Amino acid sequence: MKNPLLLVFPGNEALARALQAQFPARLENLVLHRFPDGESLVTLPAIEPGADVLVVCSLDQPDSKLAPLLFAADTARELGAGRVLLVAPYLAYMRQDRRFHDGEAITSRTFAAVISRHFDSLVTVDPHLHRYHDLAEIYTIPARAVSSAPAIAAWVHREVHKPLLIGPDEESAQWVEAIARLEGLPHTVLFKTRHDDFNVEVSLPDAGRWAGHTPVLVDDIISSAHTMIAAIGSLAKCGFAAPVCVGVHGLFAGPALAELKAAGAARIVTCNCVPHDSNAIDVMPALAAALPALLP
Amino acid sequence: MKNPLLLVFPGNEALARALQAQFPARLENLVLHRFPDGESLVTLPAIEPGADVLVVCSLDQPDSKLAPLLFAADTARELGAGRVLLVAPYLAYMRQDRRFHDGEAITSRTFAAVISRHFDSLVTVDPHLHRYHDLAEIYTIPARAVSSAPAIAAWVHREVHKPLLIGPDEESAQWVEAIARLEGLPHTVLFKTRHDDFNVEVSLPDAGRWAGHTPVLVDDIISSAHTMIAAIGSLAKCGFAAPVCVGVHGLFAGPALAELKAAGAARIVTCNCVPHDSNAIDVMPALAAALPALLP
């Protein structure tokens, strides 16, 4: 790699510094000006000829970031960058991976196509892969998905007394198991039994086995927090203590954070993928480790 | 052209109906849902195989519209559209046509490149062409710029008693002259004399000639309205009555409309390019006339 420059989109300063601690590089802010008429202008620092430019921009609230992000990529190249890589610890638009109703856009595909045309490569952390199994199904540039599991496992092992890792629903089973295995932690998953449209019973098999353990709920995205809040209620019914809630990507849309606190979370922590006060688990060592392969 | 469908972006209903009055086509709303996490989803109606889809979306406040606009274009094609045309009576990002300061993005080029990759053709009204002389310098798709001059000239001739068309600065001279010529209206332009950074004198040659005329200020974009407001002040000093203010594109950023009223505009009217209560001049006949050449 050549004279790497971390070009920081506003709001991403803390995670860019955490990345710089693992990946020696010049760090400069991208200046973003938004005009009253809704246009934006970005201004970049001087770029050394042929330098690798890493645009650091997590993609929460993606619509407002898309235009300035594309401006930044094109301008970096015009100013002499060799390669332009997108460092987006949270990658947006992964959930709309099919047409769920007639006429709907498959936004994941268009978004991936646009990003792929303006950047040379992409690195992210635990993208929401459900129907897609690999970013390469929609991104046509080299795209690397880094796992947050080692950082989460180490944090739980260090910070939580007698932890029991719990997936809030059956879909999270594999995910929670992968984290638990890394540190040899016990784990389980909440099961939903749907009686009818309005009655869903959530249960934990063998709840009695876990007396004295601290429940740790883990999910990839906390957006509305409805899944976490339902899980907290179920754990209380099973006689558990208030759980620690861990999210890889804390989007906390609208009143989600306040509602999650009110529901009884003992502690709410997230990885530093989406900049937020709850960031406590540093995934930048894993992200930094992925960079040499993308910038050979 | 084949089974044309006007696909209306939210907020553009009135101008789409005005276009439909001149251009017989099916008219359907594009449903735009914005999620709390800042992603958007668009849903399209059924599209007849091979139909020409005209996405009607004026591009004021462009950053928030870009992602859904690209989703709409791609989805229209996936659902069977033959050609997908963008009807953007106001075209954004035309003013940043060079790097005014080191490191700045030339946003006009990136924006044009993105639109050109997702749409087959484009029609707009009086784009702000300053250093560019033709949309073809940055748009790689067939792009047609329609003139609002005939509609403005006809409106002024019909609505204003003894009008005197006035350009608010020397840059608007050609523009105002073109409108005036169409209906044989008198016209002039305000001249700026800059004494130093803080003292600019604005004057109107032969102000005395125009006693009894109604001043009509005309400009292409009213955004902050500062240019119009300065011109109103100059006209008052020259002894003119309160002017009629005409804009092709009324963006009215922030407090612009209130400030323009407070400055003493007798009447504020705009073309129906950017949806606004001030829309009074219908440019859709001119826009409709340009469509057959784009959809042969």
pLDDT of residue B193 exceeding 90, the answer is no
Report, as an integer, the average pLDDT of B2-28: 97
Residue A70 lies in a domain: yes
Residues B118, B87 within the same domain = yes
Report, as an integer, the average pLDDT of B144-161: 97
Interface with chain B: mutation pick from A94, A110, A276, highest number of B CBs within 10 Å:
A110
The shortest C-alpha distance from B45 to chain A (Å) reads 6
Residues A80, A153 within the same domain = no
Cβ <8 Å between A103 and B44: yes
pLDDT of residue A198 exceeding 70, the answer is no
Residue B200's pLDDT band, with cuts at 50, 70 and 90, is low
Residues B176, B96 within the same domain = no
Residues B154, B92 within the same domain = no
The CATH code of the domain that includes A209 is: 3.40.50.2020
User: Is residue A283 within 8 Å of A272, Cβ to Cβ?
Assistant: yes
Residues B77, B140 within the same domain = yes
Residues A125, A253 within the same domain = no
Residues B113, B49 within the same domain = yes
pLDDT of residue A156 exceeding 70, the answer is yes
Cβ <8 Å between A106 and B45: no
Residues B118, B156 within the same domain = no
Residue A277 lies in a domain: no
pLDDT of residue A203 exceeding 80, the answer is no
Residue B198's pLDDT band, with cuts at 50, 70 and 90, is low
Nearest CB among B71, B102, B254 relative to A110 is that of: B71
Residues B98, B171 within the same domain = no
Residue A290 lies in a domain: yes
If one compares A212 and A75, the residue with the highest pLDDT of the two is A75
Residue A153 lies in a domain: yes
Residue B169's pLDDT band, with cuts at 50, 70 and 90, is confident
Q: Is A117 helix (H, G, I), strand (E, B) or coil?
A: helix
Interface with chain B: mutation pick from A63, A100, A108, A140, highest number of B CBs within 10 Å:
A63
The shortest C-alpha distance from A140 to chain B (Å) reads 16
pLDDT of residue B188 exceeding 70, the answer is yes
Cβ <8 Å between A61 and B40: no
Average pLDDT of chain A, as a whole number: 94
Report, as an integer, the average pLDDT of A95-103: 96
Domain span at A50: 5-147+282-294
Residues B133, B18 within the same domain = yes
| pLDDT on residue A74 | 98
Residues B236, B289 within the same domain = no
Residues A114, A159 within the same domain = no
Average pLDDT of chain B, as a whole number: 94
Residue B277 lies in a domain: no
pLDDT of residue B241 exceeding 70, the answer is yes
Distance CA B228, CA B242 (A): 12
Residue A179 lies in a domain: yes
Residue A139 lies in a domain: yes
Which of A175, A183, A189, A242 lies closest to A213 in space, CA to CA? A242
User: Is residue A35 within 8 Å of B64, Cβ to Cβ?
Assistant: no
Cβ <8 Å between B67 and A63: yes
Residues A157-185 have pLDDT tens digits of: 999 999 999 999 888 888 899 999 999 99
Backbone angles phi, psi at B102, to 5 degrees: -50, 135
Strands (E) across chain B are located at 5-8, 26-29, 31-34, 40-43, 53-56, 84-87, 121-125, 143-146, 163-167, 187-189, 191-196, 199-203, 214-222, 244-250, 267-271, 279-281
Q: What percent of chain A has pLDDT over 70?
A: 97
The secondary structure of A27-79 as a DSSP string is EEEPEEEE-TTS-EEEE-----TT--EEEE---SSHHHHHHHHHHHHHHHHHT
As for how many domains chain B has, the answer is 2
| pLDDT on residue B140 | 98
Cβ <8 Å between A62 and B67: yes
Cβ <8 Å between B40 and A78: no
Residue B60 lies in a domain: yes
Report, as an integer, the average pLDDT of B220-226: 92
Q: What percent of chain A has pLDDT over 90?
A: 85
